[in-house]
């Protein structure tokens, strides 16, 4: 069995979004007999000072944790320094530890990791598979983090070379795949495998049986939830303005579960506007996800329109696993809105449509039949398309095909040399 290496800055027991995805894939493939090695930092997403073991085995996956600086995510500079040291350590690890018959799955955490990893793969002869959770440097440009000048174009050029040089590029949505094709990546080097959740771990929990309702003081409330990364790519102004508009409805509460760039801004809004209808909670461990994701009556998912095709909010899949409807705030023609329409499990509104969001919340509060139908349909489309077992099956099938092609290529090369 070929050695399969998954490269991502965070890995279990870390609970951040990219760690959950990388760990879920690694564990799923290990269960199917793959020889899995994960390469990650020693940090936890919310605890840069942490020092996880240099090497350990979890659920059949051998984890190699490499040295990085530990400045954390407080500023762009500190984050960039942690990125740079991860790049250097990962590159050296790949040069020392990978071989011709290995397969390397390269994620996009940190951004543009494929550039250095592709150079290492070219030197060692390993097969490169890029797993694209987001597309940089375009994301940084849309967010106003970096300008679109010569440096931006150089990074695009290097990134595109690393994609074209890979055996396969896995996009997490159809719009992302279309963008890669427009950038010149061959169709036969693009696969679409959506992100997922584990339907065995995350299951719908009825409100009356959910202990968090009582524990978090939300019994008898209509709960509007947001769960996951409070990052730069998401719009929270529309949500906070809707919360202000609904202050005179004491039965409606907004629940934020997670952390990220906008957390301090949200806390400031709560204080400034005395928003007593907002509850904040930290990221929840895997064991609590069924309860925390089932607690809201409906969930909000948001993405800035300029990021469509460059990323897909993975929180939608956990929401669907919990059997809860989604109200999407962003480009109503985007990736997630298309799923909501096709599956009849939610609604989409543009960013800035405060009244539209308020009206939707009030309508769903007063329409239990509609809420129940959307909830039932969400779990159904999840079970049909986005459960973990489907995604891991697709990954395994693709990787087996690449490994077989690699084996044939090696033998042909040996035969030619003879």
Per-residue confidence in pLDDT tens, the chain, 418 aa? 579 999 999 999 998 889 999 999 999 999 999 999 999 999 998 788 889 999 999 999 999 999 999 988 778 888 889 999 999 999 999 999 999 999 999 999 999 999 999 999 999 999 999 999 999 999 999 999 888 899 999 999 999 999 999 999 999 999 999 999 999 999 999 999 999 999 999 999 999 999 999 999 999 999 999 999 899 999 999 999 999 999 999 999 999 999 888 999 999 999 999 999 999 999 888 889 999 999 999 999 999 999 999 999 999 999 999 999 999 999 999 999 999 999 999 999 999 999 999 999 999 999 999 999 999 999 999 999 999 999 999 999 999 999 998 766 544 433 443 4
What CATH architecture applies to the domain 3-196+387-417? 3-Layer(aba) Sandwich (3.40)
Q: How many helices (H) and strands (E) does the chain have?
A: 15, 14
What per-residue confidence (pLDDT) applies to 286? Answer: 84
What per-residue confidence (pLDDT) applies to 408? Answer: 62
What per-residue confidence (pLDDT) applies to 410? Answer: 46
Q: For 166, list phi and psi in degrees, rounded to 5.
A: -80, 155
What per-residue confidence (pLDDT) applies to 17? Answer: 84
CATH homologous superfamily for 207-386? Glycogen Phosphorylase B; (3.40.50.2000)
What per-residue confidence (pLDDT) applies to 1? Answer: 58
Q: How far apart, in whole angstroms, are the C-alpha atoms of residue 365 and residue 111?
A: 40
What per-residue confidence (pLDDT) applies to 407? Answer: 66
Q: How far apart, in whole angstroms, are the C-alpha atoms of residue 218 and residue 355?
A: 24
Q: Distances from the Cα of 119 to the Cαs of 96, 100, 103, 127, 128, in angstroms?
A: 13, 14, 14, 11, 10
What per-residue confidence (pLDDT) applies to 46? Answer: 79
Q: Distances from the Cα of 242 to the Cαs of 163, 220, 295, 302, 418, in angstroms?
A: 41, 20, 20, 14, 72
Q: How far apart, in whole angstroms, are the C-alpha atoms of residue 103 and residue 90?
A: 15
What per-residue confidence (pLDDT) applies to 415? Answer: 44
Q: How far apart, in whole angstroms, are the C-alpha atoms of residue 26 and residue 20?
A: 10
Q: How far apart, in whole angstroms, are the C-alpha atoms of residue 380 and residue 284?
A: 24
Q: How far apart, in whole angstroms, are the C-alpha atoms of residue 384 and residue 391?
A: 11
What per-residue confidence (pLDDT) applies to 79? Answer: 87
What per-residue confidence (pLDDT) applies to 411? Answer: 42
Q: How far apart, in whole angstroms, are the C-alpha atoms of residue 235 and residue 336?
A: 15
Q: How far apart are the first and last CA of the chain?
A: 25
Whether the Cβ atoms of residue 137 and residue 162 lie closer than 8 Å to each other: no
Q: How far apart, in whole angstroms, are the C-alpha atoms of residue 69 and residue 43?
A: 9
CATH topology identical between 3-196+387-417 and 207-386: yes
What per-residue confidence (pLDDT) applies to 113? Answer: 96
Domain ranges of the chain: 3-196+387-417, 207-386
């Amino acid at each position: 069995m070929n050695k399969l290496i998954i490269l991502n800055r965070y890995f279990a027991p870390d609970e951040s979004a990219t760690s959950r995805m990388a760990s879920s894939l690694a564990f799923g493939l290990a269960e199917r007999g793959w020889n899995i090695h994960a390469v990650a930092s020693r940090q936890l997403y919310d605890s840069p000072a942490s020092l996880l073991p240099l090497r350990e085995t979890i659920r059949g996956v051998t984890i190699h944790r490499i040295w990085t600086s530990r400045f954390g995510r407080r500023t762009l500079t500190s984050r960039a320094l942690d990125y740079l040291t991860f790049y250097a350590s990962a590159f050296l690890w790949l040069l020392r530890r990978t071989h011709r018959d290995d397969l390397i799955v390269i994620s996009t955490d940190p951004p543009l990791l494929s550039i250095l990893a592709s150079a290492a793969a070219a030197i060692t002869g390993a097969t490169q598979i890029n797993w694209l959770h987001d597309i940089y440097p375009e994301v940084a440009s849309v967010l106003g983090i970096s300008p679109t000048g010569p440096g931006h174009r150089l990074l695009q050029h290097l990134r595109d070379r690393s994609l074209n040089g890979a055996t396969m590029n896995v996009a997490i949505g159809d719009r992302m795949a279309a963008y890669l094709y427009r950038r010149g990546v061959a169709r036969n080097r693009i696969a679409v495998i959506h992100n997922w959740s584990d339907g065995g771990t995350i299951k719908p929990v009825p409100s009356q049986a959910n202990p968090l309702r009582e524990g978090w003081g939300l019994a008898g409330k209509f709960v509007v939830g947001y769960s996951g990364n409070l990052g730069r790519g998401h719009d929270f102004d529309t949500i906070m303005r809707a919360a202000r508009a609904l202050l005179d409805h004491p039965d409606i509460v907004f629940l934020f579960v997670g952390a990220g760039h906008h957390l301090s801004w949200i806390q400031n809004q709560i204080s400034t506007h005395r928003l007593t209808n907002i509850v904040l909670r930290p990221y929840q461990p895997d064991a609590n996800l069924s309860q925390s994701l089932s607690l809201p009556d409906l969930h909000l998912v948001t993405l800035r329109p300029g990021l469509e095709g460059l990323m897909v909010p993975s929180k939608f899949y956990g929401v669907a696993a919990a059997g809860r409807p989604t109200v999407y705030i962003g480009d109503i023609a985007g990736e997630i809105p298309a799923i909501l329409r096709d599956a009849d499990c939610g609604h989409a509104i543009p960013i800035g449509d405060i009244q539209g969001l308020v009206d939707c919340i009030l309508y769903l509060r007063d329409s239990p039949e509609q809420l129940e139908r959307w909830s039932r349909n969400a779990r159904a489309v999840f079970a049909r398309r986005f459960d973990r077992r489907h995604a891991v099956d697709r990954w395994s099938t693709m990787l087996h095909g690449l490994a077989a092609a690699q084996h044939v290529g090696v033998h042909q090369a040996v035969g030619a040399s003879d």
